[in-house]
Structure 1
Amino acid sequence: MLKLESVKVAYGAIQAVKGVSLEVRKGEVVTIIGANGAGKSTLLKSICGLEPVTEGRILIDGKDATNVPAHQRVGLGVAMSPEGRGVFADQTVRENLMLGAYSRRKDASAIEAAIEREFRRFPRLRERQDQLSGTLSGGEQQMLAIARALMSEPRLLLLDEPSLGLAPLIIKDIFNAIRQLRQSGLTILLVEQMAKQALGVADRAYVLETGHITLEGSGRELLDDPKVKAAYLGTH
């Protein structure tokens, strides 16, 4: 579904991503863990076209998408729930969802069906559907950000720090939703600092450090890896 070949991304003279190669197979949940500043969010932005790649290639479903504009990557089946949620604060919950379906705007009945599907997935959004998104709690905004990304019917969902700043009970709800999406067959690339939860839901995982992949393996292998335990799980 996704393949990165020696991808580099720079901000001026600063090299944020330094030749990353990875792959995400159809139906997998793949997790990227790493410390703040490792380049995780930059890497996701490059995959959806929000940051230009200076070297290397991005293949989506076998097609070279390296220079495809971000709005056209939605048509290739890619959607992202961004770090910090990024909801449109002055729009209602329902309007945010409709904006997520912009690429399908000519099919009103399909959009309504998709909104209903997301309300079933996140019942709290149904209760808040006419409320301005800026007045929602952090957890509700995160649910909305994921639901909005799903409105475009993606085949590859990018999740950037979905647990950031949330209470433990809400984090549990978010990871339950990720498990349900996995069971539905959706392909997911997850960037997450809650390493234990992220590795627990992952088929495979990568460790990104200062722009480089330093470890890779199954979620279980990295959970049991002494280096990962020491650096990210708080145990030796």
Structure 2
Amino acid sequence: MLKLDSVKIAYGAIQAVKGVCLEVRAGEVVTIIGANGAGKSTLLKSICGLEPVAEGSIKFNGADVTTVKAHERVSLGVAMSPEGRGIFADQTVRENLTLGGYCRRKDPAAVEAAIEREFKRFPRLRERQDQLAGTMSGGEQQMLAISRALMSEPRLLLLDEPSLGLAPLIIKDIFNAIRQLRESGLTILLVEQMAKQALGVADRAYVLETGCITLEGTGRELLNDPKVKAAYLGTH
């Protein structure tokens, strides 16, 4: 479904991503782990069209989307829940969800059905539907960010650090939701610093270090890799 071929991304003279090659097959959950500053978020932004690619190509369902604009990629089936959530703080929960379904605005019934689906996924959002999103807890805002991305009915969901700053019980809820999405057949590319949880839910995974892929394999293989254990799991 997704293929990156020798993708390079630069900020002026600084090369943040250095020739990354990776692929995500339909129905998979693929995880990218790595330290802060490794280039993980930059890579996700390039996939959804928010960061230009200096060299290389990005293909989605066989079509080259390297230069396709971000809003057009949403219509093609790519959606992202960004790092830091990026919700519209001065809008209500329902308004945030409605905006997430903007590309389907010509079918109000479908948008309303999608909102109802997200309320069932995260019942807390139904309780908070008329509340300004910026007044909710961090966990509730993360639920909203994921649901807003799902409102466009994506074929590929990009999740950037969904556990960031959340309490352990909320993190458990978020990863349970990711598992349910995987079981529904949705394709997911997950960037996450909580390596154990991320690898536990992943079919396959990549390790990104200073802009380069240094390891790849199944989630189980990387969970058991001594280098990954030492660097990301706090064990030797």
**What amino acid sits opposite 2:154 in the alignment?**
P
1:167 alignment partner in structure 2: 167
Identity %: 87
Aligned to 2:149: 149
| Counterparts of 1:76 and 1:108, CA distance in 2 | 19
**1:96-139: CA deviation from partner (whole Å, max 9, x where unpaired):** 00000000001000000000000000000000000000000000
2:103 is aligned to 103
Q: Which residue number corresponds to residue 206 of structure 2?
A: 206
User: Counterpart of 1:83?
Assistant: 83
Give the superposition deviation at 1:93: 0.1
In the alignment, the residues of structure 1 paired with residue 120 and residue 150 of structure 2 have an alpha-carbon distance, to the nearest angstrom, of: 13
SS in 1 for 2:16: strand
Deviation at 1:180, TM superposition (A): 0.1
RMSD: 0.2
**Structure 1: how far apart are the matches of 2:14 and 2:73?**
26
Q: Give the counterpart letter for 1:159 in structure 2.
A: L
Unaligned runs of 5+ in 2: none
State the match for 1:38 in structure 2: 38
**Structure 1 regions of 5+ residues with no counterpart?**
none
**What displacement does 1:76 show?**
1.2
Q: CA deviation at 1:43?
A: 0.1
2:181: which partner in 1? Answer: 181
Q: Distance in 2 between matches of 1:102 and 1:163?
A: 26
Alpha-carbon shift at residue 75 of structure 1 (Å): 1.2
- Give the AA of the match of 1:216: E
Superposition pairs of residues 110-149 of structure 1, within 5 angstroms: 110-149=110-149
Query: Counterpart of 1:50?
Result: 50
Provide the secondary structure at the position in 2 that maps to 1:71. Answer: helix
TM-score (norm 1): 1.00
Q: Does 1:69 align with 2:43?
A: no
- In the aligned structure 1, how far is the partner of 2:69 from the partner of 2:108? 25
In 2, Cα distance between the equivalents of 1:54 and 1:38? 17
The aligned length equals 236
C-alpha separation between the residues in 1 aligned to 2:75 and 2:56? 22
TM value normalised by structure 2:
1.00
Letter of the aligned partner of 1:194 in structure 2? Answer: M
1:206 & 1:142 partners in 2: Cα distance? Answer: 24
Q: Displacement, 1:5?
A: 0.1
